[in-house]
Each structure stands twice: as structure tokens, then as C-alpha cells.
């Protein structure tokens, strides 16, 4: 064992681990320090389930997509047998990256020396290897990544040691059953980078406290007050609140209610939005017409890549004028995310100051200290 840096000493985190109304924020180095991020990658990202997209994004046999997450590059591909699999995106010959982006293929061929793999990862072609002694193609299949799914979401576990996905999720599926997420499809995916720590992006997505200040004329009116946070089982948290106007549209949009509600929604679920975070890095929101989810990948302590996915019920996406009607929803997100990102980049710059001190929390942002405590519990050294 090497020397443990002092930044992980338990004494720095006792205030973070208190109940939300008594808690203080994580130390500033949790947002700026490379060593801290490396430990988060190891203990939070590689050790847990990471959402890397949805089954409907690889709908037919041969469809594939690639994802970068926590330093790993992965291929997600649907096989001829209909099963979706994930592989490390590196050739078993001399390591070249095999695929980029997304598309459809009959087999996976390496761009360097043309080794060819089936959609199940087996090596089926390795030119001019007859003279290679003891070389068995069957021993050189693509390295699989552990993959499980829930409601159409695909999750990978990079270190192979996470508990089963169902245990990780706990009662998350029951809380989200009203939205029939298995019947949704991704209609748009954007990837962008923000100059802030990955946790700050999750905080701003989940909390209500900033709405009137950061989004006064765009989306603040869409949200009523949030309910007190519900107690949940599993590695996730959630906040539900009734909508003011549609959470899907800019508040001055004339096209409110143009898109149909999620089929089968009823009761309070039909009048509000549920914001949830599946630890460590999958914030998502279910509202009356749609769902959106994020893949959050820390590139550096102060830089984060975000995959943003807008989803609608399959029946909505099949409407003749869907593409046109969806533009208003996409615009709402473009505007709100730009407003959030501006303030996040200022927050990151502030946190980089050596004079920064710990903060305390409003009850309107209870998710933030809860998320902070989940991180601290796993990252800091034992007491």
C-alpha cells in the first residue's frame, strides 16, 4: 500500500455525512483534484453500474454503438441471436480501436491487419497466422464487458464485481413503473462538454433551488414546489414535484400539450415530473410526455462529457408530425442546459480558489447533500 493522500482522511468528511439539514458541502478538492477523480473512477465508476444507452439504439442485429466512459472504450452490439452484448473496443491482435461512432455491420473487422470478429465477439478471421505456433482463434475473442438491462436501459460494470443490477436499482423500477419506460425510444442524442466537475452537472440537474435564479424566464414556471424526498431502497435517489406548466416546453411556448401524454399515466404521476439519479452517473427525468437521461463521463476534474438523450413513447415518436412537434422540446433543453452550463462554469472557477470554504444547504436542494454523502462514504478512508 502506498501512502494515502491526506485529502481522503475521514475527518474531512464527517460534516458531509451528516443528515441534509445539518450537512456541509464536499471539500473543494472533490471538484478540482486529479487524485480525487482517480479514486472516484475506481470506486464509483468502475465498481458500479453505468448506463451507456438504450436497447432501442441498437434495434436490429448488427446495429452497434460505441461509448467512452471512465477511460474505457466499449462496443455495444446486437447479435444475430437478438442479444445485446458489450465488448472492450480493442483488437485482440495488437490493440487497435475497432469501431467508432455508431452504425450497422455484419462483422467487426479491425482497420489495422483485418482480424475479423463475429457479432458475438468470437474471432472468425486472422489472416496469415497459419505459421503462428499454438495460435487458437477460439482463445482470442473480444473481451466482454458485464452488461445488464432494465426497462430498455443498458448498464455495464467495468470491474466485473458490482452486485447484480436489480440489487443496485432496489425499488427504482417500482417508482418509475407509471412511465412504462420499456416502451420509450431515444429520438435525439446530443454529446457536449462542460468545463465543470461531473458532480456539479448532476447537482444542477437534480435540485430545485436554482430554478428561479438561473431559469427565470425559460423554465422556472414549469415547476411547482417539489415534494419532500421519498425514502428509497437501492443506490439511487429521487425527487418528485407537480408541474406548473409543461416541464417539456419553454414556459412561453404556445405549443404546450401538443404532444400526447405517456400512455397509462394517472394520478399525481400524470401531473408532475420525477427527477432521479441512479448512482453514480445517470440522472434522468420522467415527465408527462417524455423521459430524458444523461450519461455523465468525467474527463478531468474540471471537464465533463455529457451524453444527453431525449426519449418519447414509441407511439408518440411514430406520429406523423412528431419530428416537427419535438423541436419545441429540444429547444427547451437547449436553452435550459445553456443557462445551467453558464452558471456551472462559474461555480467551477469559484471552487478553484484556494480561499473557498464549505457551504450549507437549503431544503430545496436536499438531493445535493444526499449525493455528496453517497460519494464521500465510498471515496474517503475509514474513520
Binding stretches for Fe ion (CB under 5 A):
340
One residue of 31, 49, 115, 201 binding ligand FES per CB under 6 A = 115
> CA angle at residue 118 from 117 to 119, to 5 degrees?
120
Question: Closest separation between CB of residue 145 and ligand FES, Å?
Answer: 18
CB 271 within 8 A of CB 257: no
113 binds, among Fe ion, ligand FES, none (CB under 5 to 8 A by kind): ligand FES
Helix axes 367-379, 198-206, angle to 10 degrees: 150
Q: Is 91 in the site for ligand FES (CB under 6 A)?
A: yes
Question: Closest separation between CB of residue 347 and Fe ion, Å?
Answer: 12
340 binds, among Fe ion, ligand FES, none (CB under 5 to 8 A by kind): Fe ion
Distance CA 7, CA 30 (A): 9
Q: Is 135 in the site for ligand FES (CB under 6 A)?
A: no
- H helices of the chain, in order, are 29-32, 34-40, 165-169, 172-176, 198-206, 211-214, 314-317, 322-351, 367-379
Distance CA 78, CA 62 (A): 6
- The smaller minimum CB distance to ligand FES, of residues 112 and 135, is found at 112
- The smaller minimum CB distance to ligand FES, of residues 115 and 240, is found at 115
Indicate the burial class of 320 (C-beta count within 10 angstroms; 0-12, 13-18, 19 or more). Answer: exposed
110 binds, among ligand FES, Fe ion, none (CB under 5 to 8 A by kind): ligand FES
Q: Single out the segment in contact with ligand FES by CB under 6 A; choices: 38-46, 91-99, 249-257, 339-347.
A: 91-99
Distance CA 138, CA 85 (A): 18
Question: Closest separation between CB of residue 124 and ligand FES, Å?
Answer: 13
> CA 1 → CA 8, 123, 230, 377, distances in Å?
15, 39, 40, 20
Q: Is 110 in the site for ligand FES (CB under 6 A)?
A: yes
- The smaller minimum CB distance to ligand FES, of residues 96 and 300, is found at 96
303 binds, among ligand FES, Fe ion, none (CB under 5 to 8 A by kind): none
One residue of 7, 47, 56, 113 binding ligand FES per CB under 6 A = 113
Question: Closest separation between CB of residue 136 and ligand FES, Å?
Answer: 16
- The smaller minimum CB distance to ligand FES, of residues 123 and 184, is found at 123
Question: Closest separation between CB of residue 79 and ligand FES, Å?
Answer: 21
* Residue found by looking up cell 427565470 in the block: 216
CB 85 within 8 A of CB 76: yes
Q: Determine phi and psi for 190, rounding to 5 degrees.
A: -120, 145
One residue of 9, 96, 177, 257 binding ligand FES per CB under 6 A = 96
Question: Closest separation between CB of residue 336 and Fe ion, Å?
Answer: 6
Cis peptide bond upstream of 280, omega within 30: yes
Q: Determine phi and psi for 350, rounding to 5 degrees.
A: -65, -40
The footprint of ligand FES (CB under 6 A) covers: 91, 93-96, 110, 112-113, 115
Amino acid at each position: 500500500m502506498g501512502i494515502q493522500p491526506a485529502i481522503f482522511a475521514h475527518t474531512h468528511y464527517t460534516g458531509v455525512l451528516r443528515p441534509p439539514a445539518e450537512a456541509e458541502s464536499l471539500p473543494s478538492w472533490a471538484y478540482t483534484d486529479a487524485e480525487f477523480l482517480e479514486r472516484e473512477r475506481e470506486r464509483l465508476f468502475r465498481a458500479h453500474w453505468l448506463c451507456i444507452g438504450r436497447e432501442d439504439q441498437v434495434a436490429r442485429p448488427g446495429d452497434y454503438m460505441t461509448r467512452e466512459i471512465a477511460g474505457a472504450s466499449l462496443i455495444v452490439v446486437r447479435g444475430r441471436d437478438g442479444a445485446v452484448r458489450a465488448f472492450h473496443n480493442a483488437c485482440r491482435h495488437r490493440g487497435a480501436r475497432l469501431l467508432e461512432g455508431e452504425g450497422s455491420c455484419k462483422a467487426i473487422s479491425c482497420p489495422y491487419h483485418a482480424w475479423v470478429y463475429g457479432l458475438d465477439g468470437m474471432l472468425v478471421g486472422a489472416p496469415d497466422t497459419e505459421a503462428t505456433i499454438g495460435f487458437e482463434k477460439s482463445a482470442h475473442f473480444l473481451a466482454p464487458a458485464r452488461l445488464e438491462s432494465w426497462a430498455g436501459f443498458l448498464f455495464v460494470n467495468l470491474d466485473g464485481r458490482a452486485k447484480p443490477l436489480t440489487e443496485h436499482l432496489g425499488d427504482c423500477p417500482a417508482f418509475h413503473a407509471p412511465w412504462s419506460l420499456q416502451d420509450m425510444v431515444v429520438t435525439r442524442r446530443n454529446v457536449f462538454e462542460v468545463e465543470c466537475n461531473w458532480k456539479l452537472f448532476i447537482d444542477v440537474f437534480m435540485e430545485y433551488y436554482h430554478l428561479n435564479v438561473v431559469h427565470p424566464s425559460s423554465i422556472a414556471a414549469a415547476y411547482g414546489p417539489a415534494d419532500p424526498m421519498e425514502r428509497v431502497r437501492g443506490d439511487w435517489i429521487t425527487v418528485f414535484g407537480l408541474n406548473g406548466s409543461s416541464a417539456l416546453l419553454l414556459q412561453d411556448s404556445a405549443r404546450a400539450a401538443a404532444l400526447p401524454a405517456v400512455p397509462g399515466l394517472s394520478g399525481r404521476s400524470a401531473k408532475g415530473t420525477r427527477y432521479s439519479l441512479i448512482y453514480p452517473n445517470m440522472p434522468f427525468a420522467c415527465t408527462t410526455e417524455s423521459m430524458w437521461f444523461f450519461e455523465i463521463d468525467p474527463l478531468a476534474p474540471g471537464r465533463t462529457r455529457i451524453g444527453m438523450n431525449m426519449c418519447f413513447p414509441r407511439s408518440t415518436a411514430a406520429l406523423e408530425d412528431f419530428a416537427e412537434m419535438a423541436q419545441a422540446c429540444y429547444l427547451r433543453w437547449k436553452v435550459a442546459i445553456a443557462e445551467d452550463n453558464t452558471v456551472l462554469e462559474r461555480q467551477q472557477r469559484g471552487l478553484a480558489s484556494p480561499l473557498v470554504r464549505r457551504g450549507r444547504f437549503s431544503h430545496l436542494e436536499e438531493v445535493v447533500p444526499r449525493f455528496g454523502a453517497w460519494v464521500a462514504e465510498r471515496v474517503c478512508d475509514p474513520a
